[in-house]
Amino acid sequence: MSGESVSPSFPSSSLRSLLRKTYLFTFLRGWAVWMSYPAQAVLTAVGWVVPVFFYFLLAGYLTSSSTSSPFAGNPAGYVAFFVVGLAFQGFVTNLYGFLAQRIRNEQMMGTLEHLMLSPTSPSAVLAYSTPFSIMLNLIAMGVILGVGAGFLGVVYHVAVLPLTVSVILLVASNMGMAIIASSFIMWLKQGNPVALFFTLYTQLFGGVFFPVSYLPHGLQYVSYLIPLTFGLNAVRATLLAGQGFASIGGDLLWMVFYTVLTIPLGVLFFRWTLKKVRVDGTLATY
């Protein structure tokens, strides 16, 4: 028996396959197609920026000393508050809508049935489609935060590692609902009740434009039913105040809870919906 040992190659074939599929879905099926419609890309970018200035004007009223706002007399504090809220709420709601839009595009192009019946499992299709959505939403978030810093005077005091963990958990804790939203598009073809509901819900109760503590006492508990509330608490603490893990531990644990709860539910609902539309013969219809 030979004494020579054969060391495994790195990267392994499975890792190469994973990276290749991620690249194909992210840059060829995602970025290349998105950029092939320049008018849409420009209008999307404008849509990222315009609301920042709208709420900046609104801040003049909310921070007036004549109001009962918690930011009365502190316009800089409120501008920083809503810029971060707008950036990350947009990140989350776009995440809800983007996977659904990818499913809708596949329906309209007549490729959804081929995609779902390919050797790549439906769950893997969702997983590979996610990085482009996250990448595009990170760009949007960066643009909004950049406008806040460059034009509105927002100053960031960043605790890098706690902020990174907060953002990762914010994405993970909302992925389950994003999968459910995409399932509804595959089933209903048009309309996205999940994305619409959560967009309105998060704006009202997520602590996006005003602190949750400013809500009537009974409604404050409603805000804790969504992970964005905890995500914004953690992000603001680590991005604006430079606070560490000790101050955001509770928020991180809540996001872990929502991650563990909603992702399995989302995957199960997606599989159930896929099975239903296959049995109904409506997978390829739009």
User: Is 103 a member of any domain?
Assistant: yes
What pLDDT does residue 237 have? Answer: 96
Most confident option among 88-97, 169-178, 206-215, 250-259: 250-259
- In a domain, residue 61? The reply is yes
User: Encoding tokens for residue 19?
Assistant: 């990276």
Distance CA 274, CA 179 (A): 12
User: Rounded to an integer, what distance in angstroms lies between the CA atom of residue 250 and that of residue 234?
Assistant: 9
> pLDDT digit string (tens) for 243-280?
999 999 999 999 999 999 999 998 898 888 888 877 77
pLDDT at 129 over 60: yes
Three-point CA angle 228, 147, 159, nearest 5°: 55
Residue 72 lies in domain: 14-278
Give the model's confidence band at 32: pLDDT under 50 very low, under 70 low, under 90 confident, else very high: low
Q: What is the pLDDT of residue 10?
A: 47
Task: Collect all residues with Cβ–Cβ distance below 8 Å to 35 and sequence separation of at least 6.
Answer: 41
* Total number of domains in the chain: 1
Closest by Cα among 163, 169, 127, 149 to 266: 127
Instruction: Quick: pLDDT tens for 132-182.
Output: 777 878 888 888 899 999 988 899 999 999 999 999 999 899 888 888 887
pLDDT in the model for residue 243: 95
- Model confidence at 1, in pLDDT bands (50, 70, 90)? very low
Tens of pLDDT, residues 43-57: 666 666 656 665 665
Q: Does 245 reside within a domain? A: yes
In a domain, 284, yes or no: no
Domain assignment of residue 200, yes or no = yes
Does 218 map to a domain?
yes
217 assigned to some structural domain: yes
Amino acid at 155: V
Residue 283 within any structural domain of the chain: no
Angle at 103 between CA 29 and CA 138, to 5 degrees: 60
Taking alpha carbons only, the member of 95, 52, 65, 91 closest to residue 192 is 95
